[in-house]
Structure 1
């Protein structure tokens, strides 16, 4: 099986530069980094005394929460689609 080509992109998240390596496009990697940065800034505005590690953990929790909610909605819609297809 052929190995996928890796993309290396340097991004800025909350004032820190990170080099991200992955198989997605550079625009996708930048989008992901931008969402993380935006979420960190949003949480930081509401909780300005958080240190960076707590901010990062809260950001991860918030993003995973959003992911789970979207996945649940996706699964619900998929079940509905299959149910309608079977009728």
Structure 2
């Protein structure tokens, strides 16, 4: 069977628009991600009511990627600290 046919389709609504997402993740995960994005877009719209949908989507994406990068940085620092502590125990 073709791997492309194994992908799941999940329909979600983000900021009033329906999207069918096709991928390997469970429908529950896709729905959760979509709900988070929808909530973030509504939150930013509340503080920036004159933004059109495209600018709102870009602003939301920038903020979400910023959050992701900060979390990834914290994870990297934690992992580096863990490695250093393990190296200290060995030496």
TM-score w.r.t. structure 2 length?
A: 0.90
CA RMSD of superposed structures (Å) = 1.3
Q: Which runs of 5+ in 2 are unaligned?
A: none
| Distance in 2, Cα, partners of 1:41 & 1:14 | 7
**Equivalence for 1:42:** 43
Alignment-derived partner of residue 32 in structure 2: 31
- Structure 1 unaligned regions, length at least 5: none
Q: How many residues align?
A: 86
Give the aligned partner of residue 14 of structure 1: 15
Tell me the CA shift for residue 73 of structure 1: 0.3
What is the match of residue 3 of structure 2?
3
Where is the helix percentage greater, Structure 1 or Structure 2?
2
Tell me the equivalent position of 1:77: 78
